Amino acid sequence: MAEQMCAVVYLGPEQIELRSLPVPEPKEGELLVRVRAALTCGTDVKTYRRGHPKFPPPFVFGHEFGGDVVAVGEGVNAFREGMRVTANVFAECGECFYCQREQGNLCANLVYNFGAFAEYMIIPASIVRRTTFEIPAHIAYAEAALLEPLVTVVHGWHKAAVQPGETVAIIGAGGPISLLFIQLLLHNGAGQVIAIGHSSSRLAVAKELGATQVINAKKTDTITAIREWTRGYGADVVIECAGTKSSWETSVEVVRRGGRVLWFGGLPGGTKVEVDAARVHYGEIDLLNMHGGTAAEAHEAFDLIVSGGVKAAPLLSGEVPLEQVESALKRMIAGEAVKLVVLP
């Protein structure tokens, strides 16, 4: 095995660099993985644009991956060299205040797993123990790399408690999260899924995956269109995936009385959102928030990938070498790609 590796290092807002770094060695409980495929995602885009609150630069970023175990740290018994693996971006400790209340996604001791935009990466010990999975032979590395975003979608689906037959509106449709939501909702019996977005090409993918109705918000007023489609009532559930102040506010306007709103897309700290308090209170509208997912939901998500419950191919817009990570992120920003597969 080589002593040096190529890795994409984040230096600051819109500053990344391909560097040669030492190949790390796994410590006790850790795995060293040769990355075979890594995926770009919305978190990578936000990190590229403004940094990451958990990681001061410089650091190797990227976190959705599939690869081969090439070295095993002391004490690891469940994995061996040569295994094909993927892992979630974090795992809970299982012991803190939140973990004891089955809220492992809010764990006070979360360990994060960045570094996938490189030829080699370390999987930390707690993630090896709880949320690392062997990839079966019939699943491609890039398909398995969808694990982390799917974990968050599974968590959001549980939070929203979508029932068979319900009408669900997804605001900010066309991105990878929304496309995974569409598949999971239909897989579990949602009656109608209305996809609202700004990109005609991405909405076409949503339609391909089974969205009952697509609404281009550039051409049609979202509130009017959803109310017309739902006989004036509004959707049973609204899932906000755009991550903008206006979409948070619109989601409250298009849900029916007695319905639920899931604010999935995060907003910058300090953002103030204005909603009609009377509509929320007297209409008994539940406002739900979420972050990440638990180890149990990671297992649930991996089972969906292995069983074919979700399709990866419609979300993958092409392949790029490690040297083109920056151009891949810019293609995502421009709405030209859903996800790109990085091949180190």
Q: Where are the domains of the chain?
A: 4-146+312-343, 151-289
Compute the distance between CA of residue 151 and CA of residue 98 in angstroms, rounded to an integer.
Answer: 18
Compute the distance between CA of residue 314 and CA of residue 209 in angstroms, rounded to an integer.
Answer: 8
The dihedral over CA atoms of 248, 254, 256, 260, expressed in degrees to the nearest 10, equals -20
The pLDDT, as a whole number, for residue 54 is 81
Residue 332's H or E segment, with its range, is helix 325-333
The dihedral over CA atoms of 211, 213, 216, 221, expressed in degrees to the nearest 10, equals -140
pTM (2 d.p.): 0.95
CATH 2.70.40.10 fits 151-289, yes or no: no
* Dihedrals phi, psi of 239, to nearest 5 degrees: -110, 115
Bridge partners of residue 261, in order along the sequence: 238, 287
The pLDDT, as a whole number, for residue 51 is 87
C-beta of residue 48 within 8 angstroms of C-beta of residue 16: yes
User: For the chain, what is the total number of helices (H) and then of strands (E)?
Assistant: 11, 18
The pLDDT, as a whole number, for residue 94 is 92
Write out the chain's pLDDT in tens, 344 residues: 779 999 999 999 999 999 999 999 999 999 999 999 999 998 899 889 988 888 889 999 999 999 999 999 999 999 999 999 999 999 999 999 999 999 999 999 999 899 999 999 999 999 999 999 999 999 999 999 999 999 999 999 999 999 999 999 999 998 899 999 999 999 999 999 999 998 888 899 999 999 999 999 999 999 999 999 999 999 999 999 999 999 999 999 999 999 999 999 988 889 999 999 999 999 999 999 999 999 999 999 999 999 999 999 889 999 999 999 999 999 998 888 889 999 99
Write the CATH number of the domain with boundaries 4-146+312-343. 3.90.180.10
The pLDDT, as a whole number, for residue 291 is 92
- What interhelical angle do 222-229 and 245-254 show, nearest 10? 30
Compute the distance between CA of residue 36 and CA of residue 70 in angstroms, rounded to an integer.
Answer: 12
**Is the sign of the CA dihedral 191, 197, 203, 206 positive or negative?**
negative
The pLDDT, as a whole number, for residue 199 is 85
Please indicate whether the domains covering 4-146+312-343 and 151-289 agree at the CATH topology level. no
The pLDDT, as a whole number, for residue 266 is 87
Closest by CA position to 84, among listed 295, 302, 292: 302
Compute the distance between CA of residue 220 and CA of residue 278 in angstroms, rounded to an integer.
Answer: 27
The pLDDT, as a whole number, for residue 268 is 84
- Region of 189 (left: φ > 0; alpha: ψ -120 to 50; beta: rest) is left
The pLDDT, as a whole number, for residue 78 is 96
The pLDDT, as a whole number, for residue 42 is 86
Q: What angle is formed at CA 177 by the lines to CA 180 and CA 161, rounded to 5 degrees?
A: 70
Q: How many CB atoms lie within 10 A of CB 257?
A: 12
Helical ranges in 64-191 per DSSP H? 125-130, 141-144, 147-160, 176-187
Find all residues with CB under 8 Å of 250, minimum gap 6, and list them. Answer: 171, 222, 223
The pLDDT, as a whole number, for residue 64 is 97
Closest by CA position to 121, among listed 223, 25, 27: 25
